[in-house]
Structure 1
Amino acid sequence: MTRTVLDMIGEARARVSAVGPQAAAEQAAAGSVLLDVREAEEWQHGHIDQSVPAPRGLLEFFADPTSPRHKVALEPTMRVIVVCASGARAALAAATLQDMGYTDVAVLEGGFNEWKAAGMPTCEHDYAGI
């Protein structure tokens, strides 16, 4: 039987923890990495300050320490909180990070939309990460 994307998202959410906006902000202030897997166009029109942009399609390349495209902010032993617009892409990305050996991964519950709804700070500037 074919697995649907909803099946995959459900499986990913079942194995990855989630944190709310306030907890994510506190953890980021304490050194956790906020990893934004939205597309560059989404990111430049609003994102969490200090978040690391890594569009979902490039995640594996940015997360792999042996890749020439590796982002130094991403280390398998660091706490990584994955952000997308609503949480679905983040769940898939977080599961991928776990598969790659990342040991402390969570998803921002409700994504960037929930972050904004909670009145948390955002910023805008051009994406220059690719």
Structure 2
Amino acid sequence: MAKTSHDLVVEAKSKIKEVSVVDAREMIQSGAVVLDVREPGEFENGHVPGAINVPRGLLEFKLAATPELNQPDTPIVVYCKTSGRSALAVATLADMGVTNTVNMGGGYDAWAEAGYPTDKPPAIDYN
């Protein structure tokens, strides 16, 4: 029987480390790289300050070209909207040899709900 997307996320989460937004924030404040794997439009609507945006669908292809993701001693906090795509991303990164990664449980929604700071690029004024 074929696996569903839910099955894949559950399987990924069984193989990776997931941390709370409280722990993720502490890691970020201590110098962890922040990777947002949502789509660019989602990122533009608000993101964790300092986050690098590499959409989940491009991660495998952009990994080598993103120096921040290739520092073995620097932890990486990965998130998406609610933590499904980021769980898959963390599992993929591990398969590609990037092992100092964690998934932020609850994703951006939990981060924003906790009242933590978010960045939103200013609207472009074409006048």
Q: TM-score, normalised by structure 2?
A: 0.90
Deviation beyond 4 Å, 4+ runs, structure 1: none
Letter in 1 for 2:44: Q
- Cα drift, residue 75 of structure 1: 1.2
Distance 1:8 1:21 in 2: 22
Matched, 1:84 2:77: no
Unmatched runs of 5 consecutive residues or more in structure 2: 123-127
Secondary structure in 2 aligned to 1:35?
strand
Q: Distance in 1 between matches of 2:99 and 2:91?
A: 11
Look up the SS of the partner of 2:34 in the other structure.
strand
| 1:76, distance to aligned residue in structure 2 (A) | 5.5
Please tell me whether the aligned partners of residues 76 and 103 of structure 1 are also in contact (alpha carbons under 8 angstroms): no
* 1:73 aligned counterpart, secondary structure: helix
Aligned length: 121
Ranges in structure 1 where 5+ consecutive residues have no aligned partner: none
Q: Distance in 2 between matches of 1:47 and 1:120?
A: 10
Percent of pairs with identical residues: 38
- Secondary structure at the residue paired with 1:119? coil
Matched, 1:50 2:50: yes
The separation in 1 between residues aligned to 2:35 and 2:46, in whole angstroms, is 14
Q: Distance in 1 between matches of 2:5 and 2:47?
A: 25
2:40 is the alignment partner of 1:40 = yes
**TM-score, normalization by structure 1:** 0.88
**Partner of residue 10, structure 2:** 10
State the distance in 1 between where 2:8 and 2:58 align.
19
User: Quick one: distance in 1 between partners of 2:9 and 2:92?
Assistant: 11
